[in-house]
Structure 1
Amino acid sequence: MRIVLQRAKEAAVTVSGEVVGKIGPGLVCLVGFTEGDGEEQIRWMVDKLIHLRIFSDEEGKMNRSLMDTGGAILSVSQFTLYGDCRKGRRPNFMAAEKPLVATRLYDRFNEVVRDRGIPVETGIFGEMMDVSLVNDGPVTLILDSPNNSVDDSP
């Protein structure tokens, strides 16, 4: 499982000209899955994501987490995170999970985040989406879950 996250002052996702998800301060999360991802990877990633200290404290240091700030997540499915561009000029997406499985995993990821008390807005899986945000910082990070063995602590 892979997430590219961006700290945002505000963000929105639009499908066919209609805003389908919108947040104020929080994180924009582009979320992708690969073969072998499941409940363990989702839980590990959610714990890492919501407790990652990337928001500024009173002294301007990145010392606060999403849990501390009460921010929201704009979650956008993104199979292209598993695009392999090492050979040729066209990305190979063979490492991306199949859509039927990825849809279930994506829905479960959003459910686990909500269960932790974090508001989540989403795009629409498989649709062409326009994502807009005011990046705060900018702060952009890439999170990869341990594949198929969640021995690492978040």
Structure 2
Amino acid sequence: MRKLLFTVAFAILGFTASYAQKPERTQRTERVKLTAEERAEKSAAALETKLSLSADQKAKIKQLELDRIKKHDGVRQKDEATMKARFEERKSEMKAHQEKIDAVLTPEQKTKLAASREEMRGKIKERMKDRKGGRPHQAPKTEEAPAKG
């Protein structure tokens, strides 16, 4: 009887654990980009329902939200342009550095280096492909030396 009870409890535990597993990550749906005016209206409408605003208050809040959103969008575009400029600058520096290294190497060494770079690009592309699939980044496994006893 005792064995039967343990078997049933173990089976229930097993089934419960299997249902507790998270399902695979689903594809994200694309967000609809709202204009600044639409976002301001949405924000004002939310405050109107929360705070029971009058029509005059809602209009003023909508204008304040619109000003804030436009200012924020301007800063975001400025930051984006700065990031792109830095990226291009860094890219040109890396290219110049690679050209300097290539000038020092023999033709045989250049081909080895080019092959090594291509291999690295392939590995990076694989990692990026894995990340886009929803799998988290995993650190490379290292083998530890067996403990001496």
Bucket of the pairwise TM-score, normalised by the shorter protein: under 0.3
TM-score scaled by length of structure 1: 0.19
Say which structure is richer in strand.
1
Say which structure is richer in helix.
2
TM-score scaled by length of structure 2: 0.19
